[in-house]
Structure 1
């Protein structure tokens, strides 16, 4: 685990598979007080070098899988609060402070003796332009969100890939999925544990480069399949 020189710095975990084209813009948008951790998930392009050249800490995650990359970044992080977001330029890191502010609000309490439950804030995506969120991907997300709400009692609209939570709380969830089911497992287990969960609207833009998931029908099918498997394993 890395230790931040400023305990108020917030680590941003950026799972990365062949995002050399997108990383310069993404890293240029990291706000003050946030530190990027680019998790190289066995990229075959220059992602790791580009990330390092732009001042990011590079974390190696040689076993392919979105969940594997997220977990490696979470383990490597050293801040109390962590954010997770895609590295493909579909989301703007400049919006991260709003998620952290919402997280602080979730955990505020007027009763000092009251136990403060952990919190999780998700960025609810609002597409900018018709190319930002293909219909098949939006439909798959809506179906999964409804299934999650039914099983977990949540009222979420989106399984948003931009998130904020406290690192220790996330590690305590003991998430097991290392593929595309990881984001859904996080919300499902958090809801089952009584966490406070909220959404914050964020802009969703057309990604830079070639999509591995939502931009292709096959990628969406794989993600939906992984998430349905998690629902079957974790939900009663």
Structure 2
């Protein structure tokens, strides 16, 4: 059986992180929660739930993901597949098996959990999230012939392929960077429709004007950077 490890960036997710960890399927070898400067009980709750807990003091989604990957690289039990999942309980962790299935059964390199409108709980994505995803994926189709419809954070990728991407974004551009580099490297990719519900707590990105603006700038910046290469 392939070795699966999950990386969950978490900033003040004490109310949700335990639920997320509890619903991750038993096929996962290790659940890694990266505490990104939380001021609540995120660390204690995650540890009690059985996760490996790391701390990244530099705030940023990408910083947290990179911290998790640095840890994974230092372990002896090297994974075959890395799954990224948010800690806010907006995803359905039990759908992890559906997301990794195309890697296991079809030899895909990257699988994105696509938050289809018909499967989304009303209000689970803000209008700016919906617009930002639509614009970004439209530009990716226009410039690169991509078939992506979402930049969903719930995703799985072969570990060796992920290392080849040499990820570097430290904040909001992590997801789009991965997808753009996957296109550049001609990785085999697929989207799997997933359900999506209203998160527990307030979004650190789309819940604030500043977060929305900076996320948009980062995402568009990556796309235009790659379009002129």
CA distance in 2, matches of 1:128, 1:189: 27
Cα deviation for residue 128 of structure 1 reads 3.3
Q: State whether structure 2 residue 112 is matched by structure 1 residue 122.
A: yes
Q: Is residue 15 from structure 1 mapped to residue 9 from structure 2 by the alignment? A: yes
Tell me which residue corresponds to 1:207. Answer: 199
**Could you tell me which residue of structure 2 aligns to residue 53 of structure 1?**
48
1:74 and 1:93 map into 2 onto residues whose CA distance is 20
1:181–1:227 Cα contact (<8 Å) kept: yes
CA contact (8 A) 1:136 1:220 kept: yes
TM-score by length of 2: 0.90
Distance in 2, Cα, partners of 1:235 & 1:176: 18
Matches of 2:164 and 2:3 in 1, distance apart?
A: 21
Give per-residue Cα distances to partners, 1:87-136, cap 9 Å, x unaligned. Answer: 100001100111111122342xxxxxxxxxx6110000135332211112
Please give the alpha-carbon distance, in whole angstroms, between the structure 1 residues aligned to 2:87 and 2:20.
Answer: 7
Map of 1:63 onto structure 2: 58
SS at match of 1:170: helix
**1:29 alignment counterpart:** 23
Q: Would you say how many aligned residue pairs link Structure 1 and Structure 2?
A: 220
Shift of 1:216: 3.5
Distance 1:171 1:221 in 2: 29
- TM-score (structure 1 length as normaliser): 0.88
Superposition map of 1:1-236 within 5 A: 8-34=2-28, 35-77=30-72, 78-107=78-107, 119-126=109-116, 127-236=119-228
Q: Could you list the runs of 5+ residues in structure 2 that have no partner in the other structure?
A: 73-77
Structure 1 unmatched runs, 5+:
1-6, 108-117
DSSP-derived class of the 1:201 partner: strand
1:87 & 1:22 partners in 2: Cα distance? 7
- Contact kept, 8 Å, 1:137 with 1:215, in 2: the verdict is no
Q: Indicate if the aligned counterparts of 1:41 and 1:61 stay in contact, CA closer than 8 A.
A: yes
Runs of 4+ with deviation above 6 angstroms = none
Shift of 1:163: 0.6
